[in-house]
Amino acid sequence: MAGWVAWLDLLGVAVFAATGALVASRKQMDLIGFGLMATATGIGGGTLRDVLLGRPVFWIADGRYLAVCLGIAVLVYVGAHVVQRRFVALLWADAIGIAAYAVMGAELGLRSGAAAAVAVVLGVMTATFGGLIRDVLCQETPLILRREVYATAVAAGAGTYVAALALGAGKPWAAALGFLVGFAIRGGGIQFGWTLPTYKPRPGREYPVE
């Protein structure tokens, strides 16, 4: 990867690594635990993406990603106590990460020849899988399963990016628009509790017994 995609990828990895390390701080883990959580969260979604696309796994081909994850783990280990409301910080950092990774995952899908809809799905997978690993490892309800909009925000960001490209926008502008849409929708979910309609069970129909 080169250019803006590489920087967006590094940003997504760094932010997700920070969310993993913040969870480790809430669980009062040692430094090894911080490194494990930061790394699993930071590279999990991108690993799934690359395996599905048959590409070289990005963090194996470029050692900067592991270095970023471990560096973030150490920084959070030293300074997590400064962040008093760590769960709120986790939510907003995760919102930045999913918005960045939604765009980047969709872009790499398009570069690999995927159709537009498939590229959006790859953006969703890239943005959500690392956080899913983080929450499962820490035995917390995954953010993707909470009521506030989450996967919807990712899909909207990735879809906006793909649609903007189809309409002729330049990649930097399309990427900025996709990021802003994804972040704004997820931010609304955090700040205002935006949700999608949920299923409401209905009583089953009673049949006469003959």
Interatomic CA distance for residues 90 and 209, integer angstroms: 55
Say what angle helices 4-26 and 116-137 make with each other, to 10 degrees. Answer: 20
Q: Report which of 125, 92, 88, 80 is spatially closest to residue 16, judged by C-alpha positions.
A: 92
Q: Mutual orientation of helices 31-53 and 116-137 as an angle, nearest 10°?
A: 160
Q: What pLDDT was estimated at residue 208? A: 66
pLDDT tens-place string over residues 95-138: 998 999 999 899 999 999 999 999 999 999 999 999 999 999 98
pLDDT above 80 (res 189): yes
Q: How many C-beta atoms lie closer than 10 Å to residue 129's C-beta? A: 22
Instruction: Please indicate whether residue 84 or residue 59 has the higher confidence score (pLDDT).
Output: 59
